[in-house]
């Protein structure tokens, strides 16, 4: 029997969002709803499984874990990139690492939800209504404001396009961005410093790498307008969390919205949870029923193809 572990099914929906029964009788599936990352108990849990489905980076697979999983042959990750998997270690152990398709729009939609929620104080006003209050804040329009987009790839380009629809001026920057590429999506290329200094809203859409880790720290936050908002739906370590807490607590910037964190799930006692002008969401960017159906459906197809000896696309950190 080929045993498959489906990890980190937080909402207990994985079983219903794909036809896992199509893999029987060859496959036995087991669904795990908690987030177990401590090495020894996690290795014990996964020891007997030949395949694992990892939902994004919820459970890391470092060399120390992979080397303690002698039966593992297939590791499927949601999406085509997963920096928390040690691909070299997997290759050395003969473990095929492959990915799934994902939808291109859910994180873009959440980004704009967070921008509008900050601009119009939606969470505070909605909570106030439940406690009997009425109109306690004054919001801001986004039309006519400047949107700074850090990273103009597939996701950043979509965010920029929506900004144009709202009537915003869009500035863009990344290490490899050219003025010509920015112009293709209606954005204006700007240096990082200029973008931070002139944007009313700065939104991050960069891949986490050694070049982007701590890209936004105390110095960068100090360059932003006092009334500006920072949005991070990309990866937590791109923004220095301690610097962000300080900038928000001191009102150096007006507010921020964060969907991603250095450690996930975010600990209950984390300092970010205490900052008043910070809107927090629990990494919801990709969490939609439509996206889950696509991911889990692709995972089933990948497992079937592996068992049938059909070729599967191995992922790497560059695709």
* pLDDT number for residue 319: 36
List beta partners, residue 74: 51, 96
Whether 235 is catalytic: yes
- What's the sign of the alpha-carbon dihedral 297, 300, 306, 310? negative
Residues of the chain with pLDDT under 70: 316-319
Options 56, 158, 205, 235, the catalytic residue: 235
DSSP 106-157: HHHHHHHHHHHHHHTTHHHHHHHHHTT----------TTSEEEEE--SHHHH
* pLDDT number for residue 128: 97
pTM: 0.94
* pLDDT number for residue 316: 59
Options 205, 223, 283, 301, the catalytic residue: 283
How far apart (Å, rounded) are the C-alpha atoms in residues 213 and 176?
Answer: 16
For domain 106-280, the CATH class is: alpha beta
* pLDDT number for residue 315: 83
| Residue 30 near residue 6 (C-beta atoms within 8 A) | yes
Whether 210 is catalytic: no
Q: What are the distances in angstroms from CA 238 to CA 90, 179, 241, 281?
A: 26, 23, 9, 17
Options 264, 270, 293, 304, the catalytic residue: 264
Tell the CATH superfamily of the 2-103+288-307 domain: NAD(P)-binding Rossmann-like Domain (3.40.50.720)
* pLDDT number for residue 162: 98
* pLDDT number for residue 317: 46
Whether 283 is catalytic: yes
- Where are the CATH 3.40.50.720 domain residues in the chain? 2-103+288-307, 106-280
């Amino acid at each position: 029997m080929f045993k498959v572990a489906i990890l980190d099914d937080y909402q207990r929906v994985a079983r219903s969002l794909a036809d896992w029964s199509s893999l029987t009788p060859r496959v036995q599936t087991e669904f795990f709803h908690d987030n177990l990352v401590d090495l020894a108990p996690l290795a014990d849990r996964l020891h007997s499984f030949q395949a694992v489905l990892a939902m994004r980076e919820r459970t890391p697979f470092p060399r120390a874990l992979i080397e303690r999983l002698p039966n593992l042959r297939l590791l499927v990750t949601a999406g085509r990139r997963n920096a928390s998997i040690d691909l070299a270690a997997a290759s050395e152990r003969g473990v095929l690492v492959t990915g799934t398709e994902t939808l291109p729009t859910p994180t873009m939609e959440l980004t704009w939800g967070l921008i509008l929620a900050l601009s119009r104080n939606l969470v505070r006003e909605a909570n106030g209504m439940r406690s009997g209050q009425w109109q306690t804040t004054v919001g801001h329009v986004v039309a006519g404001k400047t949107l700074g987009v850090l990273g103009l790839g597939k996701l950043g380009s979509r965010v920029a396009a929506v900004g144009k629809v709202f009537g915003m001026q869009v500035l863009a920057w990344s290490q490899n961005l050219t003025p010509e590429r920015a112009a293709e999506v209606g954005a204006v290329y700007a240096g990082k410093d200029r973008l931070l200094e002139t944007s009313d809203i700065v939104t991050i859409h960069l891949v986490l790498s050694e070049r982007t880790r701590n890209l936004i720290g105390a110095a960068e936050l100090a360059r932003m307008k006092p009334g500006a908002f920072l949005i991070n739906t990309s990866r937590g370590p791109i923004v220095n969390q301690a610097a962000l807490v300080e900038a928000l607590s001191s009102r150096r910037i007006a507010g921020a919205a964060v969907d991603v964190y250095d450690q996930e799930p975010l600990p209950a006692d984390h300092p970010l949870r205490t900052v008043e002008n910070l809107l927090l969401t629990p990494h919801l960017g990709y969490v939609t029923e439509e996206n889950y159906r696509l991911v889990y459906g692709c995972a089933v197809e990948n497992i079937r193809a592996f068992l049938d000896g059909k070729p599967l696309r191995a992922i790497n950190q560059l695709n």
